[in-house]
Amino acid sequence: MTEDADALLAMTRLLAPHCRVTRLSDGVLIADWKRTRFLGMTTTDLRAFTDAASGRRRELVTGLIRAGCVPSRGKRRPGASVGLWLRGVHLLIRVIGFGRVLRLLSVAAPEYARADPAPAEHVARLKKAVQSYGRGSWFVDDDCKTEAVTAFVLLRRQGLQAVLHVGVRERPFALHAWTSAAGLCIPDADPRGHAFAPVLSIGGGGQ
């Protein structure tokens, strides 16, 4: 039915990137990959999303906001949580070292994966946010290791496929880290046109 398709589209636009909606015969199933949980909704409630003035719609949206499935409309800038992750990851790398942080990825980045591939537009937005905060922070200061680990963890916590690479260049000698997903790299795999040969690749939950 066109009405149900429109309602499904309206609800999908509200949900956070870590949530996916699956149509069922008598409603929908919302998969919250950030918290590894599933929420159900009836067809009647789904159809309420087509009416912006509906009191039931406002009630449902409020419930989804409280459940963490819909971003709340606060004063916080979009992607501000990315800045917090960048600073936290950078501090952790400075305190315990990059190698030990890589060993912790199995804890910070879960192994489960969604069936659908990572949306390229979502990865592109994440890349823009990571690089914007990374280059604009005197603390992070455009550190590739911090940006790569942050992107990897955030993508994996949403159940999306991602691979973290560590590469080396011989002349002049240099190391570089980046995360690849949906055909994009965060940060770029070849900064300033310099190619790096991967010597370590971590996929899934750090295995």
pLDDT at 179: 97
Residue 189 has a CB neighbour count (10 Å cut-off) of: 19
Structural contact between residues 72 and 81, judged by C-beta atoms closer than 8 angstroms: no
Q: Is the pTM of this model over 0.85?
A: no
pLDDT at site 53: 75
Whether 30 shows a pLDDT value over 80: the answer reads yes
Residue ranges, comma separated, of all CATH 3.30.460 domains in the chain are: 80-203
Sheet holding 19-24, edge to edge: 19-24, 27-32, 37-42
Q: What is d(CA 66, CA 48) in angstroms, rounded to the nearest whole number?
A: 18
**44 has a pLDDT exceeding 80:** yes
Domain 80-203 falls under CATH 2.40.128: no
What pLDDT digit, counting tens, does each position of 117-137 carry? 788 998 999 999 998 888 877
* Cβ neighbours of residue 24 closer than 8 Å, sequence gap 6 or more: 40
